[in-house]
């Protein structure tokens, strides 16, 4: 097959989605339906089970090894969104081996957390967490990276060149159940004095789930398998520009107080979780500066940041979910009050 040639021009692509009802997988399902693909979902039927009444739903439980519903069927591609299961590599092996002759391609949603060392502009060859080790017993960032790296190696072993492994950084968009990107949009919309971490110059990378899914289907359609970092945008985005765009989109009069990182650390603020997009100093200029050259060369494109923010904002105003991430207003106020005499408050947008 030639580069760019669509393997599915003459037939409807049959897609099996393992998961498909929460956030990223939900976009996999929605976009597949919009593209006219024929989809099947496989999950326990517990999360948003009323979605897609006309779609085939197979029920099973990967943790219990209940995969009977997948037996004796054929699809063109399977998308595996499995994330935090304690024995992720074993679960991925079970589905990968069961489906080996039932699908042409296996897509595994991995993460940039598989890298042990980050370098500015680091590509897909950065070192990974070692895979020849016991399964981690406790879930933390290292365990997450290790489990994903182990699962990647299973997909490579079973599928070889038929496997597609995508390594996203922060995935954002409507349905995002983590609330990380959403924290900033919601907080800035509320207005007032907003605690902003460290410096407007901090780098930010993210990917809109919808851009990622569209690109994955494009890769599958053109049979461009392999391993790809999936981070955006195309240009080098800074935190100050991100917050300013949130301010513009939500038409907010928020003012930003940039609080030095050492003060946030001394106040016990948890990077990434309590202040999403803020990283500890040793990870700045590396984690959010990975190379996306291979993905760009293979068709990844990005909608404007303002569109992503707008769509999340609209969705958030309807859903009003509670999130584990984000800084409480009490904590924010306490830190701002503590420092009000020594930190200057500056609006990001020029005042007219």
Ligand X SMILES: NC(=O)c1ccc[n+]([C@@H]2O[C@H](COP(=O)([O-])OP(=O)(O)OC[C@H]3O[C@@H](n4cnc5c(N)ncnc54)[C@H](OP(=O)(O)O)[C@@H]3O)[C@@H](O)[C@H]2O)c1
Judged by DSSP in three states, 281 sits in: helix
Spatial separation of the C-alpha atoms in residues 41 and 54, rounded to whole Å: 11
- Do 195 and 184 form a contact (C-beta atoms < 8 A)? no
Q: Show contacts with ligand X in window 85-114 (CB under 6 A).
A: 109, 111
Judged by DSSP in three states, 38 sits in: strand
**Residue choice 15, 19, 103, 228 for contact with ligand X (CB under 6 A):** 19
Q: Given the complex with ligand X, which of 47 and 199 has the nearer CB atom?
A: 47
Spatial separation of the C-alpha atoms in residues 306 and 152, rounded to whole Å: 33
Q: Which two tokens stand for residue 254?
A: 């928020």
Q: Given the complex with ligand X, which of 230 and 264 has the nearer CB atom?
A: 230
Residue 282, Cβ density class (10 Å: 0-12 exposed, 13-18 middle, ≥19 buried):
exposed
Q: Given the complex with ligand X, which of 63 and 338 has the nearer CB atom?
A: 63
Q: Which stretch, 21-29, 117-125, 191-199, 250-258, contacts ligand X (CB under 6 A)?
A: 21-29
Maximum alpha-carbon separation in the chain:
69
- Do 193 and 346 form a contact (C-beta atoms < 8 A)? no
Continuous segment of H or E residues that includes residue 309: helix 305-319
Residue 221 lies near ligand X (rule: CB under 6 A): no
Q: Which stretch, 13-21, 134-142, 151-159, 315-323, contacts ligand X (CB under 6 A)?
A: 13-21
How many CA atoms lie within 13 Å of 187's alpha carbon, on the beta-carbon side? 26
Binding marks (x or -) toward ligand X, 40..79, rule CB under 6 A? ---xxxxx-------------xxx----------------
Q: Given the complex with ligand X, which of 205 and 245 has the nearer CB atom?
A: 205
Q: Given the complex with ligand X, which of 61 and 307 has the nearer CB atom?
A: 61
Interface residues with ligand X (CB under 6 A)?
19-26, 43-47, 61-63, 81-83, 109, 111, 168, 170-171, 178
């Amino acid at each position: 097959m030639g580069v760019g040639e669509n393997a599915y021009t003459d037939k409807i692509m049959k897609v099996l989605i393992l998961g498909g009802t929460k956030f990223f997988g939900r976009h996999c399902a929605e976009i597949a339906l919009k593209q006219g693909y024929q989809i099947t979902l496989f999950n326990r039927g517990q999360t948003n089970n009323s979605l897609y009444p006309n779609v085939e739903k197979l029920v099973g439980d990967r943790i219990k090894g209940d995969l009977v519903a997948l037996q004796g069927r054929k699809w063109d591609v399977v998308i595996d969104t499995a994330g935090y299961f304690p024995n992720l590599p074993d679960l991925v092996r079970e589905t990968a081996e069961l489906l080996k002759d039932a699908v042409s391609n296996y897509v595994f949603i991995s993460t940039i957390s598989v890298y042990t060392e980050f370098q500015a502009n680091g590509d897909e060859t950065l070192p990974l967490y070692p895979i020849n080790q016991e399964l981690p017993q406790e879930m933390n960032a290292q365990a997450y990276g290790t489990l994903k790296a182990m699962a990647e190696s299973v997909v490579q072993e079973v599928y070889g060149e038929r496997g597609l492994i995508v390594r996203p950084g922060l995935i954002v968009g409507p349905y995002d159940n983590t609330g990380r990107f959403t924290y900033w949009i919601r907080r800035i919309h509320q207005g007032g004095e907003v605690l902003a971490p460290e410096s407007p110059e901090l780098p930010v990378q993210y990917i809109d789930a919808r851009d990622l899914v569209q690109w994955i289907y494009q890769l599958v359609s053109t049979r461009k398998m392999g391993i790809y970092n999936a981070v955006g945008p195309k240009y080098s985005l800074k935190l100050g520009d991100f917050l300013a765009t949130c301010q513009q989109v939500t038409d907010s009069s928020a003012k930003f107080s940039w609080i030095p990182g050492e003060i946030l650390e001394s106040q016990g603020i948890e990077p990434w979780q309590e202040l999403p997009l803020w990283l500890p100093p040793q990870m700045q200029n590396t984690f959010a500066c990975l190379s996306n050259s291979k993905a760009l060369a293979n068709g990844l494109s990005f909608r404007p940041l303002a569109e992503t923010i707008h769509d999340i904002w609209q969705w958030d105003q309807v859903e009003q979910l509670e999130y584990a991430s984000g800084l409480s207003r009490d904590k924010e106020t306490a830190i701002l009050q503590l420092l009000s005499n020594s930190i200057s408050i500056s609006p990001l947008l020029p005042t007219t």
